[in-house]
Structure formats: structure tokens, C-alpha cells
């Protein structure tokens, strides 16, 4: 075993994960109570120890204990001896809590302009005509030097285009009142799921997820997702934005010795 390998557990022999294979997708599966979440925590701690930041979605609200060192217990001592961990120590890990609603952690925000018309169209499930109108709104905002920060900015822009659509047709093409109305209704649904908390300033810098803490440990980022799960469209909005930001910010590389950032979704 090298120092970079992560101990997962032990059957007849100890089982380690080579970090370079974590550049691929993985799945932890099992029945309720078989230790899926604990396995996730063990892996997260292992990645943090070798300096790899981790992002975890906490659906059940049971991951926050990773910030604090554990306490001795006969069952724990028995398990340590059974696995054969010689250098075991209780320790907490550098952790930052995030919450799209800003209630259980730092708020996560981005602007409508940063989201862009393509992703927003997919999230709103717009047809081709409606997507074209949304593109007109973004193009008009760019031409006029207007920042679309939140849903109110986008709604106001759409309203203005609707009221002056004859003038817009010459420069941007046909704009129908029906399409604008359909987009406004979809935005209302998104807002009712809490999107007004996600869109706005200050916008999150994706590199805030990829920090290291004391001792070179990777930062563990925990997203409070217990309430977010009740707003599936907002959850999808966040995930699509996050993936697009990572794709845009991180350079294309081959297989690295260890990942730049690891995602866990429980």
C-alpha cells in the first residue's frame, strides 16, 4: 500500500482504492442499513487526507458529524483491531456547509446571465419557438449591456420585449405574446420551488469548492439537500449549472494520479 491509497475495508484482506481510478464513476449499492452512507464518509475522509476536495449532497442530514473527531467506544476499538489499522486516530475534517436556501449553510448563487439561455431553456422545458424567444431576451440584454441577475430581471426584460415586439421583430425576428406568456409561467413554477434564492449576487466561484485546509487536507463540501429534494426542478437547475461551470473552468486532462474534485450523491 502507498500513502495515497485509501483503505475501504477488509474481507479476507484489506481493500484499498487507488485514487487514479476515482477519475471514473462509481456506485455504492446495498439494502437499507448495510452501510452505504458510512462507506461514503470513509471514502470522503480518505480523499480529504490525500488533499482531494470532496462535494457531498446530504439528503438525510447525517453527514455533518464528519467535522468532529469521534470518541473511543468498545465497538469502535473492536472494529479497528479486526481491520488491523495501526495508525488510527480520531479526527475532524475541514468542512464547509452549503445550502441553496441559505438556511443550513453558505448560500449558493449564480446569475441568470451566467446560467445562459441554453441551460435555462432545458430546465424550463421550452419548445423551439419559446427557446428562440428566450435567446432574443439574452441577446437584447447583451446588446444593451444589461446584466440579468435574477428572475425579476429576466421577467422585466421579457415583459419589455412583449410590449415592444413589433420593434424587436425587425432586429431579432418574430416574437409572439403566447411564447412570452409560456416562458413567464415556467419561470413562476421555478420561482415557487425556491429559485429566487439561487439566482442573484454574489455569484459563487466554483473554485470555492476546491480548497485545501489545515495540513493539506482537501475541503469537504456538504450541500444541505434534505429540503432541496422537495424542489426537483431547482435541484436540477443547480446540478446542470455546476456541471457546466466545471466543464468550462477545468482544463481537459487525461487520467491524473488523483482527482481534482470528487462528487458523492447519497
What would the DSSP string read from start to end of 89-104?
Answer: ------EEEEETTSSS
Same-domain pairing of 77 and 121: no
Same-domain pairing of 27 and 46: yes
Closest CA to 126 of 54, 171, 190: 190
Same-domain pairing of 119 and 157: yes
237: confidence class by pLDDT, cuts 50, 70, 90:
confident
Q: Does the residue 182 lie in any domain? A: yes
pLDDT exceeds 70 at position 37: yes
Q: Which of 142, 176, 197 is the last residue of a domain?
A: 197
Same-domain pairing of 161 and 175: yes
Read off the DSSP letter of residue 19.
G
Q: Which of 151, 169, 197 is the last residue of a domain?
A: 197
Which residues share a beta bridge with 100?
A: none
Same-domain pairing of 129 and 18: no
Asked whether 128 and 252 are in contact (CB, 8 A), the reply is: no
Asked whether 227 and 187 are in contact (CB, 8 A), the reply is: no
Q: Does the residue 28 lie in any domain? A: yes
164-175: per-residue pLDDT in tens?
Answer: 988 898 889 889
Same-domain pairing of 96 and 129: no
Q: Does the residue 1 lie in any domain? A: no
Same-domain pairing of 34 and 20: yes
Average pLDDT over residues 100-109: 92
Same-domain pairing of 103 and 34: yes
Asked whether 193 and 231 are in contact (CB, 8 A), the reply is: yes
Q: Which of 197, 225, 248 is the last residue of a domain?
A: 197
Same-domain pairing of 101 and 21: yes
Integer Cα distance of 162 and 159 in angstroms: 5
Question: pTM of the entire structure?
Answer: 0.84
Same-domain pairing of 261 and 229: yes
Which class for 230: exposed (0-12), middle (13-18), buried (19 or more C-beta within 10 A)?
A: exposed
| Apex 200 CA angle, 120 and 223, nearest 5 | 80
Q: Does the residue 202 lie in any domain? A: no
Same-domain pairing of 101 and 123: no
65-76: per-residue pLDDT in tens?
Answer: 899 898 888 988
Q: Does the residue 44 lie in any domain? A: yes
Integer Cα distance of 249 and 68 in angstroms: 32
Q: Does the residue 168 lie in any domain? A: yes
187: confidence class by pLDDT, cuts 50, 70, 90:
very high
pLDDT at residue number 87? 82
Same-domain pairing of 27 and 74: yes
Integer Cα distance of 246 and 209 in angstroms: 11
Integer Cα distance of 89 and 73 in angstroms: 13
Range of the domain at 28: 6-108+209-265
Q: Does the residue 204 lie in any domain? A: no
Integer Cα distance of 170 and 260 in angstroms: 48
Domain count, the chain: 2
What size, in residues, is the chain? Answer: 266
Q: Does the residue 22 lie in any domain? A: yes
Which three-class secondary structure state does DSSP give residue 262? strand
Integer Cα distance of 172 and 168 in angstroms: 6
Amino acid at each position: 500500500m502507498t500513502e495515497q491509497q485509501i483503505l475501504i475495508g477488509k474481507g479476507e484482506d484489506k481493500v484499498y482504492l487507488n485514487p487514479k481510478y476515482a477519475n471514473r464513476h462509481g456506485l455504492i449499492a446495498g439494502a437499507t442499513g448495510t452501510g452505504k452512507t458510512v462507506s461514503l464518509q470513509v471514502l470522503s475522509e480518505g480523499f480529504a487526507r490525500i488533499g482531494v476536495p470532496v462535494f457531498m449532497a446530504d439528503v438525510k442530514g447525517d453527514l455533518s458529524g464528519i467535522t468532529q473527531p469521534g470518541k473511543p467506544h468498545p465497538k469502535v476499538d473492536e472494529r479497528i483491531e479486526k481491520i488491523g489499522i495501526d495508525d488510527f486516530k480520531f479526527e475532524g475534517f475541514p468542512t464547509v456547509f452549503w445550502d441553496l436556501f441559505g438556511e443550513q449553510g453558505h448560500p449558493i448563487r449564480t446569475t441568470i446571465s451566467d446560467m445562459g439561455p441554453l441551460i435555462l431553456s432545458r430546465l424550463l422545458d421550452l419548445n423551439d419557438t419559446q427557446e428562440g424567444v428566450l435567446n432574443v431576451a439574452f441577446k437584447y440584454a447583451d446588446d444593451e449591456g444589461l446584466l440579468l441577475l435574477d428572475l425579476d430581471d429576466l421577467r422585466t426584460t421579457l415583459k419589455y420585449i412583449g410590449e415592444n415586439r413589433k420593434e424587436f421583430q425587425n432586429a431579432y425576428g418574430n416574437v409572439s405574446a403566447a411564447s412570452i406568456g409560456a416562458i413567464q409561467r415556467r419561470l413562476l413554477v421555478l420561482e415557487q420551488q425556491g429559485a429566487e434564492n439561487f439566482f442573484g449576487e454574489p455569484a459563487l466561484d466554483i473554485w470555492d469548492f476546491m480548497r485545501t485546509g489545515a495540513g493539506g487536507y482537501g475541503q469537504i463540501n456538504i450541500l444541505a439537500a434534505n429540503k432541496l429534494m422537495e424542489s426537483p426542478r431547482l435541484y436540477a437547475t443547480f446540478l446542470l449549472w455546476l456541471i457546466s461551470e466545471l466543464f468550462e473552468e477545468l482544463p481537459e486532462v487525461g487520467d491524473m494520479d488523483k482527482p481534482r474534485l470528487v462528487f458523492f450523491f447519497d
